[in-house]
Amino acid sequence: MYYLVVKNLGVEKCIDMNEEDIYTKNSFYNCQQALTLVKKEFVKKIKISCTGLPGSVINAKVYKD
């Protein structure tokens, strides 16, 4: 499983997960979600945009278990 993780005010949260590594830069995700975070192995760092926040670009990390 792959986990898309963002950090806000020092707290990391998982905003999306998928069985495949579908995460690419400049994609849009709902950054308000908070799913169960299981981070074991760092895969990559990307920049994403949050739906509902026009013009916002934030750093995200992808982990896998």
pLDDT reported for residue 55: 73
Q: What kind and span of H or E run contains 57?
A: strand 57-64
DSSP class per residue in 39-51:
--EEEEEEEEEET
| Torsion angles phi and psi, residue 5, rounded to 5 | -125, 135
How large is the average pLDDT for residues 39-63?
A: 89
Domain boundaries, the chain: 2-64
Residue-wise pLDDT tens digits, 14-24: 999 999 999 99
**Is residue 40 predicted with pLDDT exceeding 80?**
yes
CA distance 59 to 1: 20
Contact between 35 and 14 (Cβ < 8 Å): yes
How large is the average pLDDT for residues 26-44?
A: 88
